[in-house]
A and B are shown apart, each in its own frame.
Chain A
Amino acid sequence: MTALRAEVHQVSKKMGRAQALKRVDAVFGAGEVHGIIGPNGAGKTTLIRLLAGLLHPDQGQISYAEEKDALSGSQAKRVTGYFPQEPSLYPDLTCEEHLEFFRDLYDLPQAEFAQRSEELLRATGMTPFKDRPAGKLSGGMYKKLGLMCVLLNRPKLLLLDEPTVGVDPVSRQELWDLVYGFAGENMTVILSTSYMDEASRCACVHVLSGGEMLDSGTPKEVMKRFNITDFSEIFLNHESK
């Protein structure tokens, strides 16, 4: 099993009346943690949904590769995990029942399932709430349950849209340690974030604004090119209402 590489080439996409992405180019190298950052309405969610194969570009292409072998979109989709900004769960099923549901969906052997679900419950601090139905969780707990369901699988490409919004600082640390542990030989991680400390933790950041890709590179390189010491400055300079 090897992490996927994804390449976005001159991709444009209209959403409703808005031109959400304009001729975007980006390379998501295999095995790394990539952060897509940008102001509200920059096109982050659209880009992630395109990468997940849930939307199709109006123009341009997205290609995937596993080492030297090119994968078709539908092949890639089968080994891709996607966490939407607003996960939708079953209000009547408990946390544990959700995890079991996804165990069956991903066809996980019981031993592996037991180990992974325990690890996830611990990292999110959700162990005491295993038996609570999703409809009775707090906002952040609901989000964490959604994340656990996706992280239970080990896809070759993991796409996370704002995974830590509403997640408390302690769990945010622990989730990052976990996601960092996953990335590597077997998994590429692409996530969007509005936390600037998380952006600096990525191996590579991609700066989107108004549907255009402004820059990509290591956090250090990007900050140097923008001549800033903190990512939030990019937004202060680039966001217009």
Chain B
Amino acid sequence: MNQNEPVIRVKDLVVSFGAFRAVDGVSFDVRRGEIFGFLGANGAGKTTTIRTICGILNPSSGSVEVDGHDISSSTAVLKPHIGYMSQKFTLYPDLTVRENLYFAGSLYGMTPKQIAERSHKLMDFIGLSEELPDPVSHLSGGVKQMAALASSLLHDPELVFLDEPTAGTSPQTRASFWALIRRLAERGKTVFVTTHYMDEAEYCGRIALMERGKIVAMGTPAELKKKFFPVKPLELSFTKPVQHAVRQALEKAGIASAVFGATLRVRAPERAELERVIAPFQDGVSVQEAEPTLEDVFLQAVSGRKAV
């Protein structure tokens, strides 16, 4: 294994279900030790791509290489190197965390002793108690997701695929989860992760943005922001309850805006035109330049294309 070679190499990948191309000609490389973020609209083909790289689905055409092996012919060789946390919750709800880990470990041919040692280390790493007495179904969403992570890391894989690992968990759990992801990468693991939380995407080394089976943008968070926002977005904040009226006035003038929290964001701003439209609202609204976020990038890249 060459340390500088990409660990995942996807070339012209197509995955079809009947006549429908869920993945439609996708190429990219992932480097060893990288945190690679996979973003995209619902149904864009993220999960399908992941399942293909993990060897669960077969490519219709194109190729996927992991560690220099073609996945179609080397599934058995690669399986021990790949950990996969599915978007669907896959632990057994009636078993405890410990029972689930034993079950998962035995599927990988680990001995009880190996499983015990490994789960001890993992639970310590993740910060969960090994002795949680409750069946998994009684645990809170955050703990459940952490347990699922432990299960996917049990056989100490080099390559970890996390499909929406933080969906539905609280900001605190999400922060701890990402601290773990960073530590995995520091230990040389390659992490391939999808999320719909754009603040999390900021922690990725590189990001691919997928839409309708194709990759529409790829780069570091900073590169993507620069590419989509040569002009910074504007943020409108309100001191009087005129937000709704302002939004309507903007819409009439053909300026698209999006609500973010208590503010409005305008992404392709002609500042002079904008100032003219909001002038009648006087001191009820103020305009500021804002740093573009990945949420801005996503909305720009995806809904911008929808319009055409």
Contacts and interface: CB of A to CB of B under 8 A. Distances in A.
Interface of A: 16-18, 38-41, 85, 125, 129, 136-141, 143-144, 162, 165-173, 176-177, 194-197, 199-201, 219-220, 231-232, 235-236, 239, 241
B41 A125 contact: yes
A169 B198 contact: yes
A168 B211 CA distance: 11
Nearest to B169: A40
A165 B168 contact: yes
Nearest to B133: A17
Interface string B41-54: 11110110000000
B238 to A, nearest CB: 11
Interface hub of A137, A168, A200, A231 (most chain B Cβ within 10 A): A168
A7 to B, nearest CB: 25
B87 A139 contact: yes
A201 B262 contact: yes
Given A140-B196, A173-B259, A168 B170 contact: no
Given A138-B43, A168-B41, A170-B41, A40 B141 contact: yes
A170 B170 contact: no
Given A40-B142, A40-B143, A173 B170 contact: no
A200 B143 contact: no
Interface of B: 17, 40-44, 46-47, 87-88, 127, 134, 138, 140-143, 164, 167-173, 175, 196-198, 258-262, 295, 298-299, 302-303, 306
B167 A165 contact: yes
Contact of B259 (A39, A85, A201): A201
B168 A168 contact: no
A177 B198 CA distance: 19
B188 to A, nearest CB: 27
Given A40-B142, A162-B168, A170 B298 contact: yes
Contact of B173 (A40, A136, A138): A40
A168 B167 contact: no
Given A200-B262, A235-B171, A170 B303 contact: yes
Given A144-B42, A168-B44, A169-B295, 13 more contacts: A40-B140, A40-B173, A138-B42, A139-B42, A140-B41, A140-B43, A141-B42, A141-B43, A168-B302, A169-B298, A170-B41, A200-B261, A232-B171
A235 B142 CA distance: 13
Given A138-B47, A194-B169, A235-B170, A168 B127 contact: no
A170 B261 contact: no
Contacts of A137: 43
B171 A236 contact: yes
A171 B211 CA distance: 13
A65 to B, nearest CB: 26
Contacts of A40: 140-143, 169-170, 173
B40 A168 contact: yes
Contacts of A141: 42-43
Nearest to A209: B170
Contacts of A197: 260-261
A194 B171 contact: yes
A173 B299 contact: yes
Contacts of A169: 196, 198, 295, 298-299, 302
B167 to A, nearest CB: 5
B302 A170 contact: yes
A129 B142 contact: no
A39 B47 contact: no
4 tightest A-B CB contacts, nearest first: A140-B42, A41-B140, A200-B261, A40-B142
Nearest to B43: A138
Contacts of A196: 171, 261
Contacts of B306: 125, 170
Contacts of B167: 165-166
Contacts of B303: 170
A239 B141 CA distance: 13
B170 A239 contact: yes
Nearest to A139: B87
A30 B17 CA distance: 47
Contacts of B259: 173, 176-177, 201
A181 to B, nearest CB: 11
A162 B196 CA distance: 14
Given A194-B168, A201-B259, A129 B175 contact: no
A40 B168 CA distance: 9
Contacts of B141: 40-41
7 contacts: A138-B46, A140-B43, A168-B42, A169-B295, A169-B302, A173-B258, A197-B261
